[in-house]
Amino acid sequence: MSFLSMKRFQRALTLGALVAATLTQPALAEMKGLEIIAPASPGGGWDQHARAAQQVLQNQGLASGVQVSNIPGAGGTIGLAQFVTAKRRNPAILVGGQIMLGAILTNKSAVTLDQVTPLARLTGEYTVLAVPADSPLKSFDDLIAKFKADPGSVSWGGGSAGGSDQILASLIAKAVGVSPSKVNYIATAGGGELLASALGGHLTLAMGGYSEFQPQFQAGKLRALAVSSPSRALDADTPTLKEKGVDIEFANWRGMFMPATLKPADKKAYDETIKKMVESDEWRQLLKQRGWVSLYQGADDFAAFLAREKQDVAAVLSDLGLAK
């Protein structure tokens, strides 16, 4: 493994070897010249998933010569549109997720997920609601009491407008009997910027993927009030929303899509390949390192899930006035 990666590494660095070095790969690989498209800039979740899949597919001998391309923009809808319209010689997989579903609606995208074939749901991240360690809000109940008394006084920080975090905030508001349009939602670029505003106490609470916040919980800088997972498997000390009487189970999922023109026989073959990928030890190891939770579903289950999810997201966004 490390020999192979060293070889690839040198290829990437030394220009002299470029022309000559076409890597010889095992002949049994069934996906040749696969292109994985991450509809986002390098560094984000979709890009990391694309590159993780590239790494595991190649190392497990499931595919060869896998390329990752970034086509960023507009919540993934530019990458999606490009994916649907471009004619390609090689097989291609598009990485996407819940945010893309929302972006299609809010951006009134001409291309939707109906024009691609769902291949697999891979992972998901459960959302956690967190407050600074010195916040007077000690529990989820404190938060909801304050929110009900004066909705505007609670600033909910999270990712982009119409994205997963705002959707969850609206669902919670609805569940506790406050109009979603009263949520004082502060959209940020997420990541470090959001965490910094939360740590600095500039927001009442911050919402984001559990794994991203976990180090701050461990260091005692932020306090988790509730998490959107079905059980306490992630964190034994933090109650789930369900335990708190808010009947919501919510994951920011990520998955893979292929072109609509995919033949049924090929679809089955790719479905098998991805199944082998997620069942490999290397993939499991990788999920553990990155703090991603496996929510694997094969092509058919994923298609059914997607149909339901589409309706749910559309309903929330129209409540917010972000989509019709």
Partner 1 sequence: METLAALGHGFAVALLPYNLMWCAVGVTVGTAIGVLPGIGPALTVALLLPVTYGLEPTSAFIMFCGIFYGAMYGGSTTSILLNTPGESGSIVTAIDGHAMARQGRGAQALATAAIGSFIAGTFGTLALTFVAPLMVKLALLFGPAEYFALMVLALTTVTAVLGDSLARGLASLFLGLAFGLVGIDMQTGQARLAFGVPELLDGIDTVVVAVGLFAVGETLYNAARFRFESEEILALKGSKWLRSEDWSRSWRPWLRGTAIGFPIGALPAGGSEIPTFLSYLMEKRLARKPEEFGRGAIEAVAGPEAANNASAAGVLAPLLALGLPTSATAAIMLAAFQQYGLQPGPTLFDTSPELVWGMIASLYVGNVLLLALNLPLAGVWVKLLAAPRPWLYAGILVFATLGTYTLNNNVVDLVILWAVGFLGFGMRVLNVPVAPCVVGLILGPMMEQHFRRALAISQGDLSVFVTHPIAAGLLIVAVALALGPFILRRRQRRASAG
Partner 2 sequence: MTTGRTVRVGEAVFGGGLIALGAFIAVETAMTPTLAARAVVGPALFPYAVAGCLAAVGAALLRESRSAAAPHAQGLELDFHALWLVAGALAIQFFTLEAVGWIPSAAVMFALTARAFGARRWTVNLALGAALAAVVYVVFTLGLDLNLPLGSLFEMADAN
**Residues interacting with partner 2, by CB under 8 A?**
12-13, 15, 18-19, 67-69, 86-89, 152, 161, 181-185, 320-322
Task: Pick out residues in 47-76 that bind partner 1 (CB under 8 A).
Answer: 47-48, 51, 54-55, 69-74
Choice from 64, 106, 238, 240 touching partner 1 (CB under 8 A)? 106
Least distance in Å: CB of 298 to partner 1?
25
17 binds partner 1 (CB under 8 A): no
CA torsion angle 162 165 167 170 (round to 10)? -120
Tokens read off for 78: 């530019």
- Binding track over 259-298 against partner 1, x by CB under 8 A: ---------------------------x--xxx-------
d(CA 65, CA 33): 5
Direct distance between the N- and C-terminal alpha carbons of the chain, in angstroms, rounded to an integer: 51
CB 256 to partner 2: min, Å: 19
Closer residue to partner 2, CB minimum distance, 164 or 297? 164
Quote helix, strand, coil % in the chain, to nearest 5.
45, 20, 35
CA distances from residue 15 to 20, 23, 69, 152, 154 in whole angstroms, order as listed: 10, 15, 21, 58, 55
Q: For partner 1, which residue of 60, 184, 280, 294 counts as binding (CB under 8 A)?
A: 184
Query: Can you tell me which of 93, 120, 203, 241 binds partner 1, judged by CB under 8 A?
Result: 203
Can you tell me the distance from the alpha carbon of 256 to that of 248, in angstroms, rounded to the nearest whole number?
25
Answer for which of 64, 109, 117, 170 binds partner 1 (CB under 8 A) is 109
CB of 218 to partner 1, least distance (A): 7
Q: How far apart are CA 138 and CA 154, in angstroms?
A: 14
Q: Pick between residue 32 and residue 88 the one whose CB is nearest to partner 2.
A: 88
Residues 71-100 that bind partner 1 (CB under 8 A): 71-74, 77-78, 81
Asked whether the beta carbons of 296 and 124 are under 8 A apart, the reply is: no
| Best CA proximity match to 239, nearest among 309, 142, 321 | 142
> Rounded to the nearest whole angstrom, what is the least distance from the CB of residue 35 to partner 2 in the complex?
9
- Residue closer to partner 2 (CB basis): 88 or 138: 88
Q: Tell whether residue 221 is a contact of partner 1 (CB under 8 A).
A: yes
Which residues fall within 8 angstroms of residue 315, CB to CB, at 6 or more apart?
none
Instruction: Identify whether the C-beta of residue 39 lies closer than 8 Å to the C-beta of residue 78.
Output: yes
Cβ distance to partner 1 smaller for residue 55 or 139: 55
Q: How far is CA 129 from CA 81, 146, 206, in A?
A: 33, 15, 6
Cβ–Cβ < 8 Å for 262, 42: no
Residues in contact with partner 1 by the rule CB under 8 A: 1-3, 5-6, 8-9, 12-13, 41-44, 47-48, 51, 54-55, 69-74, 77-78, 81, 106-110, 152-153, 155, 160-162, 184, 186-189, 191-193, 195-197, 199-200, 202-203, 214-216, 218-219, 221, 286, 289-291, 322
